[in-house]
Amino acid sequence: MSDADTAHESYLLAPRGWALLTRYALLTVVALLFVVPLAWMAASSLKPEYQIFASPPVWWPSPPRWENYVEALTQLPFARFAANTLIIAVGSIVGHLLSCTIVAYGFARLRAPGKGYLFVVLLSTLMLPYPVTMVPLFIIFSRIGWINTFAPLIIPTFFGNAFYIFLLRQAFKQIPLELEDAARLDGATTLDVLRYVILPLSLPALAAVAIFSFQSSWNDFLGPLIFLQDQSRYTLMLGLSFFRGTTQINWAYLMAASLVTVIPVVVVYFVAQRLFIEGIAFTGLKQ
C-alpha cells in the first residue's frame, strides 16, 4: 500500500508488547484459514488414488504423483482451452484499454452540456445486473452468427466498461491541468495530449485496468457458458466445469487441473498486487 496511509496512522496507539504478540498470533491464524484450502488443493493434486480419501488427512503425498497433472490435462484438450482463454483475455485487455482511456479522458477533462447527466448514466450502468441483458444479447448474437465465436466476449470490450472508465477518470483528474494547457499551447491535439501527457502519467491506473480486465475475462463463466457451445471453443473455466460434471470425479485430477487454470491469475496477482489492491481501494475511496 502507498506511503500516504502512514499519515493517518497513529504511532501512539500502535500495538505493543503482549498486544502486539496477540495481534500477530491472530493475524497468523486468520491467514491459515485463507491459505489452508489452497495447500489442501495442492496436496490433493499430487495424491495417488488410494490416498485421496485417507483419514486422517494426508498433507504430504508420498511419493508425489506428478503424473496426475499430465493425465488430468490430457483428458480434455486443456491446451486448446488455455489458448482460447488467452485470445479472449488479450482481446479484452486491448479493447478495454483503448476504449476506456478515450472515454475516461472525455469525462475527466472536456466540458460539454449534458456531461453531468451522462456521467450519472455511466455510474448507474455499474449497477445493471448482467442477467438482465444476457437473454436479449444471446438473441441478437445468434441472429448475426456470433454464437460459438469469441466475438460476444471480445467485441463489446471495445465499447468501454463503466467501472474501468470511472477508475481511469479518477486517475486522469489528478493530473495537473497546466501540463495539458502547456502542450495545447504548443499545438498538441487531443490525441497528442492523451498520448504524451495523460497516458505516461497514468501508468499505474492503466495497469490496474489491464489486470482487472485480464482477471475478469479469465474467470468469466456465464458469458462463455452462454455464447460458446463447441468443446473446441471452450475456455479454461468452461473446461473445468465440464470436467467437474463428469460422472466419476477423480479429485486429484480435478485439483491438478484447477490449480493449473488459476496459476496465471495468481502469478499476475503476486507480481502486481500493489496495483491490484490500490486499484480496488481507489474506486472504493472516491465513490
Partner 1 sequence: MASLSGLRRREAVAFYLTISPWLIGLILFTAGPMLISLYVSFTDWDLLTAPTWVGLDNYARLLDDPRLWQSLKVTALYTAAYVPLELAGGLSLALLARPRLRGIGIFRTLYYLPSVLSGVAFVVVWLWLLNPRGGLINLMLAQVGIPGPRWLLDPQWALASLILMSVWGWGRTMVIYLAGLQNIPAELHEAAAIDGADAWARLRTITLPLLTPTIFFNLILSLISTFQTFTSAFVATDGGPLDSTLFFVLYIYRQAFQFLNMGYASALAWLLFAIILALTLIIFRSQDFWVYYAGERAE
Answer yes or no: are the C-beta atoms of 211 and 279 closer than 8 Å.
Answer: yes
Q: Three-class SS string for 222-235?
A: HHHHHHCCCHHHCC
Task: Indicate which single residue of 112, 144, 177, 185 sits in contact with partner 1 (rule: CB under 8 A).
Answer: 112
For residues 110 and 120, give the distance between their C-alpha atoms in angstroms, rounded to a whole number: 16
Q: Cβ 71 to partner 1, closest distance in Å?
A: 17
Task: Indicate which single residue of 21, 27, 70, 203 sits in contact with partner 1 (rule: CB under 8 A).
Answer: 27
Residues 246-265 touching partner 1, rule: CB under 8 A, are 251, 254-255, 258, 261-262, 265
Task: Indicate which single residue of 21, 79, 203, 266 sits in contact with partner 1 (rule: CB under 8 A).
Answer: 266
Spatial CA neighbour of 217 closest among 270, 284, 264, 254 = 264
183 contacts partner 1 (rule: CB under 8 A): no
188 contacts partner 1 (rule: CB under 8 A): no
Answer yes or no: are the C-beta atoms of 248 and 234 closer than 8 Å.
Answer: no
Answer yes or no: are the C-beta atoms of 221 and 238 closer than 8 Å.
Answer: yes
Q: Cβ 1 to partner 1, closest distance in Å?
A: 7
Answer yes or no: are the C-beta atoms of 165 and 107 closer than 8 Å.
Answer: yes
Q: Cβ 40 to partner 1, closest distance in Å?
A: 5
Pick the stretch among 65-73, 77-85, 95-103, 197-205 that binds partner 1 (CB under 8 A).
95-103
Phi, psi of 104 (to 5 degrees): -65, -35
Task: Indicate which single residue of 21, 25, 36, 79 sits in contact with partner 1 (rule: CB under 8 A).
Answer: 36
Residues 127-146 touching partner 1, rule: CB under 8 A, are 127-140, 142
271 contacts partner 1 (rule: CB under 8 A): no
Residue 47: strand, helix, or coil: coil
Number of neighbouring beta carbons within 10 Å of residue 201:
15
22 contacts partner 1 (rule: CB under 8 A): no
For residues 151 and 88, give the distance between their C-alpha atoms in angstroms, rounded to a whole number: 9
Q: Cβ 74 to partner 1, closest distance in Å?
A: 19
Q: Is the CB of 66 or the CB of 221 nearer to partner 1? A: 221
Residues 41-70 touching partner 1, rule: CB under 8 A, are 41, 44, 52-57
99 contacts partner 1 (rule: CB under 8 A): yes
Number of neighbouring beta carbons within 10 Å of residue 168:
26
Q: Cβ 200 to partner 1, closest distance in Å?
A: 18
Q: Cβ 38 to partner 1, closest distance in Å?
A: 7
Q: Cβ 50 to partner 1, closest distance in Å?
A: 11
18 contacts partner 1 (rule: CB under 8 A): no
148 contacts partner 1 (rule: CB under 8 A): no
N- to C-terminal Cα separation, the chain? 19
Number of neighbouring beta carbons within 10 Å of residue 236:
25
Return the C-alpha cell found at 135: 437473454
Pick the stretch among 80-88, 103-111, 179-187, 199-207 that binds partner 1 (CB under 8 A).
103-111
185 contacts partner 1 (rule: CB under 8 A): no
Answer yes or no: are the C-beta atoms of 85 and 236 closer than 8 Å.
Answer: yes
